[in-house]
Amino acid sequence: MRSSLIRQVLILAALALIPGLGEAVYFRQRISWQSSIPPSELVTVDQARTWAGNVIWVDARPDEEFARDHVPGALSLNEDRWNELLPQFLAVWSPGKKVVVYCSSLSCNASREVARRLRKEAQLSNVFVLEGGWEAWLKKR
Protein backbone atom coordinates (compact mmCIF):
# COMPACT_ATOMS: atom_id res chain seq x y z
CA MET A 1 0.00 0.00 0.00
CA ARG A 2 2.73 2.42 1.08
CA SER A 3 5.01 1.57 -1.84
CA SER A 4 2.07 2.04 -4.21
CA LEU A 5 1.46 5.52 -2.77
CA ILE A 6 5.13 6.47 -3.14
CA ARG A 7 5.05 5.20 -6.73
CA GLN A 8 1.96 7.29 -7.49
CA VAL A 9 3.56 10.39 -5.99
CA LEU A 10 6.73 9.83 -8.01
CA ILE A 11 4.73 9.36 -11.23
CA LEU A 12 2.80 12.60 -10.62
CA ALA A 13 6.03 14.47 -9.81
CA ALA A 14 7.65 13.12 -12.98
CA LEU A 15 4.62 14.17 -15.05
CA ALA A 16 4.78 17.66 -13.54
CA LEU A 17 8.47 17.85 -14.38
CA ILE A 18 7.89 17.38 -18.16
CA PRO A 19 6.13 20.73 -18.82
CA GLY A 20 8.50 22.39 -16.34
CA LEU A 21 11.54 21.22 -18.27
CA GLY A 22 9.89 22.13 -21.57
CA GLU A 23 9.28 25.66 -20.34
CA ALA A 24 12.83 25.96 -19.03
CA VAL A 25 14.19 25.02 -22.45
CA TYR A 26 11.74 27.19 -24.38
CA PHE A 27 12.24 30.24 -22.16
CA ARG A 28 15.94 29.61 -21.59
CA GLN A 29 16.76 33.21 -22.45
CA ARG A 30 14.26 34.54 -19.94
CA ILE A 31 15.19 32.51 -16.93
CA SER A 32 15.47 35.04 -14.12
CA TRP A 33 18.92 34.05 -12.95
CA GLN A 34 20.25 34.60 -16.45
CA SER A 35 18.57 37.91 -17.17
CA SER A 36 19.25 39.71 -13.89
CA ILE A 37 21.90 42.41 -13.96
CA PRO A 38 25.01 41.71 -11.86
CA PRO A 39 25.37 44.36 -9.11
CA SER A 40 28.72 45.42 -10.62
CA GLU A 41 26.91 46.57 -13.77
CA LEU A 42 24.30 48.62 -11.91
CA VAL A 43 24.76 52.19 -10.72
CA THR A 44 22.57 54.47 -8.62
CA VAL A 45 21.77 58.09 -9.52
CA ASP A 46 23.92 59.32 -6.61
CA GLN A 47 26.91 57.21 -7.65
CA ALA A 48 26.63 58.28 -11.28
CA ARG A 49 26.49 61.93 -10.25
CA THR A 50 29.83 61.63 -8.48
CA TRP A 51 31.40 60.78 -11.85
CA ALA A 52 30.44 64.32 -12.98
CA GLY A 53 32.18 65.19 -16.28
CA ASN A 54 33.54 61.70 -16.80
CA VAL A 55 30.19 60.12 -17.66
CA ILE A 56 28.11 59.78 -20.82
CA TRP A 57 24.38 59.39 -20.18
CA VAL A 58 22.62 57.18 -22.70
CA ASP A 59 18.85 57.26 -23.09
CA ALA A 60 17.59 53.87 -24.34
CA ARG A 61 13.92 54.92 -24.47
CA PRO A 62 11.99 55.42 -27.72
CA ASP A 63 12.53 58.71 -29.62
CA GLU A 64 9.25 60.30 -28.47
CA GLU A 65 10.06 59.81 -24.79
CA PHE A 66 13.58 61.17 -25.28
CA ALA A 67 12.17 64.21 -27.11
CA ARG A 68 9.74 64.87 -24.23
CA ASP A 69 12.46 65.01 -21.58
CA HIS A 70 15.79 63.42 -20.75
CA VAL A 71 18.81 63.66 -18.46
CA PRO A 72 20.66 66.88 -19.40
CA GLY A 73 23.35 66.11 -21.96
CA ALA A 74 22.13 62.54 -22.53
CA LEU A 75 22.46 60.94 -25.96
CA SER A 76 19.65 58.94 -27.49
CA LEU A 77 20.61 55.36 -28.33
CA ASN A 78 17.71 52.97 -28.75
CA GLU A 79 17.35 49.71 -30.64
CA ASP A 80 14.72 51.14 -33.01
CA ARG A 81 17.46 53.15 -34.74
CA TRP A 82 20.61 51.47 -33.41
CA ASN A 83 22.59 51.60 -36.68
CA GLU A 84 21.93 55.31 -37.09
CA LEU A 85 22.44 56.38 -33.47
CA LEU A 86 25.45 54.26 -32.53
CA PRO A 87 27.98 56.27 -34.62
CA GLN A 88 26.70 59.48 -32.97
CA PHE A 89 27.36 57.96 -29.56
CA LEU A 90 30.79 56.61 -30.57
CA ALA A 91 31.78 60.05 -31.83
CA VAL A 92 31.41 61.36 -28.28
CA TRP A 93 32.81 58.36 -26.41
CA SER A 94 36.43 58.29 -25.37
CA PRO A 95 38.53 55.76 -23.43
CA GLY A 96 38.15 56.08 -19.67
CA LYS A 97 34.65 57.57 -19.86
CA LYS A 98 31.91 55.80 -17.97
CA VAL A 99 28.63 55.10 -19.75
CA VAL A 100 25.32 55.08 -17.86
CA VAL A 101 22.31 53.68 -19.75
CA TYR A 102 18.74 54.22 -18.58
CA CYS A 103 15.21 53.44 -19.72
CA SER A 104 11.77 54.27 -18.48
CA SER A 105 10.55 51.74 -15.93
CA LEU A 106 11.58 48.83 -13.78
CA SER A 107 9.92 46.31 -16.08
CA CYS A 108 11.54 47.67 -19.21
CA ASN A 109 14.71 45.93 -20.32
CA ALA A 110 15.77 48.40 -23.03
CA SER A 111 18.64 49.78 -20.95
CA ARG A 112 20.10 46.38 -20.19
CA GLU A 113 19.84 45.41 -23.88
CA VAL A 114 21.59 48.60 -25.00
CA ALA A 115 24.27 48.12 -22.32
CA ARG A 116 24.72 44.50 -23.37
CA ARG A 117 25.18 45.47 -27.03
CA LEU A 118 27.67 48.21 -26.15
CA ARG A 119 29.71 45.70 -24.15
CA LYS A 120 29.41 42.76 -26.55
CA GLU A 121 29.22 44.30 -30.01
CA ALA A 122 31.21 47.53 -29.57
CA GLN A 123 33.34 45.89 -26.85
CA LEU A 124 33.24 48.91 -24.55
CA SER A 125 34.00 48.63 -20.86
CA ASN A 126 32.65 50.75 -18.00
CA VAL A 127 29.06 50.47 -19.23
CA PHE A 128 26.46 50.61 -16.44
CA VAL A 129 22.67 50.39 -16.16
CA LEU A 130 20.96 53.05 -14.04
CA GLU A 131 19.16 51.46 -11.10
CA GLY A 132 15.52 52.54 -11.12
CA GLY A 133 15.88 54.10 -14.58
CA TRP A 134 14.34 57.42 -15.62
CA GLU A 135 11.92 57.40 -12.66
CA ALA A 136 14.83 57.23 -10.20
CA TRP A 137 16.45 60.18 -11.96
CA LEU A 138 13.21 62.19 -11.77
CA LYS A 139 12.92 61.58 -8.03
CA LYS A 140 16.43 62.91 -7.44
CA ARG A 141 16.30 65.78 -9.92
Partner 1 sequence: MKTYIVALTLSIIFSLSARAELKWEQTMIELHPTPADKQAIGHFKYQNPGKTPVHFKSVHASCGCTTAQTQKDEVPPGESGEITATFNIGDRTGTQVKTVTVETDEAANSKTVLTLRTIIPQQLEITPTFVFWKQGDKPDPKTITVKVGKEFTVKHIKVSSSSPDFQTKVEEKANGEFKIDVQPQETKNLVASTLTIQPEDSQKVFYATARITNSPVVQ
**Sole window of 25-33, 37-45, 67-75, 133-141 interacting with partner 1 (rule: CB under 8 A):** 25-33
| Number of residues in contact with partner 1 under rule CB under 8 A | 40
Q: Which residues contact 65 (CB under 8 A, 6 or more apart)?
A: 59, 104, 134
Interaction between residue 120 and partner 1 (CB under 8 A): yes
Interaction between residue 97 and partner 1 (CB under 8 A): yes
Interface residue with partner 1 among 41, 44, 47, 82 (CB under 8 A) is: 82
Q: Would you tell me how many other CB atoms lie within 10 Å of the CB of residue 1? A: 4
- What is d(CA 141, CA 129) in angstroms, rounded to the nearest whole number? 18
Interface residue with partner 1 among 32, 39, 91, 141 (CB under 8 A) is: 91
Interface residue with partner 1 among 108, 131, 132, 136 (CB under 8 A) is: 108
Q: What is the CA radius of gyration of the chain?
A: 21
**Measured between alpha carbons, how far is residue 65 from residues 78, 90, 96, 110 in Å?**
11, 22, 29, 13
Residues found near partner 1 in the complex (CB under 8 A): 1, 4-5, 8, 12, 26-27, 29-30, 54, 61-62, 65, 78-84, 86-87, 90-91, 93-97, 104, 107-110, 113, 120-124
